Amino acid sequence: MMKSFASLLLPRFLRFRKEALLLWKAFWAPSTPLYLKAATLLAAFYLIWPMDLLPDIIPFLGLVDDIILIPLIVSWIVSRLPVPAPAAAPKDGPIIDGTARRR
Query: CA–CA separation, 92 vs 29, rounded Å?
Result: 30
Q: What is the pLDDT of residues 31-60, one digit of tens each?
A: 899 999 999 999 999 888 867 766 767 777
Provide the residue ranges of all domains of the chain, joining segments of one domain with +: 11-79
DSSP state, 99?
Answer: -
Record the pTM. 0.68
Question: Could you count the other beta carbons within 10 Å of the beta carbon of residue 36?
Answer: 18
Residue ranges of the chain with pLDDT lower than 50? 101-103
Query: CA–CA separation, 78 vs 76, rounded Å?
Result: 6
- Dihedral Cα 40, 41, 42, 43, nearest 10 deg: 50
Predicted pLDDT at 101: 47
